[in-house]
Amino acid sequence: MLDFDNTQIAYANKSNKDLRMAYALFSAMNSNFLMKGVKSASDAAVRFGIPLSWILKPTLYRQFVGGETIEECKEVVKRLHNSGIESIFDYSAESGSELSDIEEAYNEILKTIDNARVNPAVAFAVFKPSAIIVEKVLKKAAEDEAALGVIEKGEYDNFYQRFFSLCEKAYKAGVRIMVDAEKFATQSIVDAVTVESMRRFNKDKAVVFITLQMYRRDRLDYLKFLHKDAIEKGYILGVKFVRGAYIEEERSRAFELGYSDPILPDKAATDKSFNDGLAYAVDNIEDFEIFCGTHNYESTNLLADMMDKKELGRGDMRIYFAQLYGMSDNITYTLANEGYNVCKYIPYAPVKKVLPYLFRRMEENKSVAGQTGRELDLIKKEIERRKVSK
C-alpha cells in the first residue's frame, strides 16, 4: 500500500511562497460563488479585450499551466525530471471555429512530437482530435456524414489526413502519442480513426494510445473488443484509462435528445468500471501498454498491487501512471519516489486561449468528491511541518 500522506516528498519542489499561493487558490476553488464570479469576469474581459495576464499568470495559470510556449515550460519539465517524473506537453487551447485555429493547433502538436523525440524528460505526445477540425464539421459528420457540403467534406477529409499524419510522425520519431477522448456524440468517429492508426503503427509496440472514458456504460465491453481486434490484426493495444470529464453535459444531452444515458449511474459504478479495465489489461499485459490517468488513491494502489502480484517491475515501460500538473502532487511524487513510471500533463497555451482549460480544471476539482479538501489538508500539513522543523 502506497503512502500518499508524506507531504515532505509531495512538496519537495514547492517553496513556502508556492504553498501559500496553492492554499489560497484551492480555498477559493472551494467557493462556488467566488469561482462563478471569476469565470464571469474572465469571460467579460475576453469579450471586451481587457488584458488578463497580470492577474492570472501569477495565480491560476502558474498553478495549473506550464507556460505559454514549450520553451517557457522547460524549467518546469527539468524540475520534474530531477525528481524522477516525466512530462507530457499538452497544447491546451480549446478547439477553434476558424481554419487558422486548426492550423495553429496542428503545428503545435507537431512541435510537441519533435520535442519528445529529443527530450528524455518527455514521455508522450498527446492531441485532442477536436483541435484539428472545425468543431461544427465534426459534430455534423457525427450526426449525418452524408449531409456534409462540398467544403465541409473537404475539411472532414483533411481531419483524417491530419490525424494520420500526426500518428505517422510520432511513429517515425519513436514517440508514443495519445489520442484524447471526446464527448459521446463524436467519440465513435475518433474511436474508428484511432483504431485504424493503432493497426497501422502499433505492430511492434504501442505508439498510438486510445483513451477510454470508463464512466461510459459500454467501455469495458469495448476494451475487450479492442483486445480481440488487436490479437486478430496483430498489433499492441495502447490504452489510456480515465474516468471521464463531461458527465453533466452528457446526461443533459441524452435527456434533451431522448436517447439512453451513456454514463454509468454513480461514482461507485464508474470506479468499478475503471478498476476492472485496469485488471483486464494487466491480466493480458503481453498484448497491452497501459497509461493510467487518475487522481484516485484506490485505483493507483490497485494497479501498483497488481503489478507486484504479476511480478512486473516498477519500471516496466508498458505501464505508466499520470496526474495533471498542479494537482495531486502527493500521488505523483510518491510514485516517482517508489520507482514507478509517472508523468505530469503539462498544459501550455497563451493565457487567453487556455482559460476554458483552467475553468474546466476547477470544475473537475469541485466535482471529484473531496479533491479540493484533500489538496487543502495536505498543503496545510506541509506548511505546519515546515514551521515545526525550523
The gap between the terminal CA atoms of the chain, to the nearest Å, is 30
The number of CA neighbours under 13 Å toward the Cβ of 140 is 14
In angstroms, the CA 240 to CA 217 distance is: 17
pTM for the predicted model, two decimal places: 0.93
In angstroms, the CA 370 to CA 30 distance is: 10
Report in angstroms the alpha-carbon separations of 97 from 134, 149, 150, 181, 302: 5, 17, 18, 19, 41
Which of these, 328, 362, 322, lies nearest to 56 by C-alpha position? 362
Q: What is the 3-state secondary structure (H, E, C) of 128-177?
A: CHHHHCCHHHHHHHHHHHHHCCHHHHHHHHHHHHHHHHHHHHHHHHCCEE
Average pLDDT of the residues of the chain: 90
3-state secondary structure of 386: helix
Domains of the chain: 69-353 (3.20.20.220)
- Tell me what pLDDT residue 179 has: 98
Element at 289 (helix H, strand E)? strand 288-293
Q: How confident is the model at residue 66 (pLDDT cuts 50, 70, 90)?
A: very high
Residues in the chain: 390
- The predicted-structure confidence for 22-33, as pLDDT tens digits, reads as follows 988 888 777 665
In angstroms, the CA 283 to CA 288 distance is: 9
- Which of the two residues, 367 and 211, has the higher pLDDT score? 211
In angstroms, the CA 325 to CA 316 distance is: 23
Q: Provide the grid cell at 93.
A: 487551447
- The predicted-structure confidence for 246-295, as pLDDT tens digits, reads as follows 888 899 999 999 999 999 999 999 999 999 999 999 999 999 999 999 99
Q: Provide the grid cell at 264.
A: 454509468
Which of these, 109, 149, 154, 150, lies nearest to 128 by C-alpha position? 109
In angstroms, the CA 146 to CA 349 distance is: 35
Over 90: is that where the pLDDT of 2 sits? Answer: yes
Element at 241 (helix H, strand E)? strand 237-242
Q: Provide the grid cell at 27.
A: 480555498
* 382, 8 contact by CB (below 8 A): yes
* 108, 116 contact by CB (below 8 A): no
Q: Provide the grid cell at 7.
A: 507531504
- The predicted-structure confidence for 172-223, as pLDDT tens digits, reads as follows 999 999 999 999 999 999 999 999 999 999 999 999 999 999 999 999 999 9
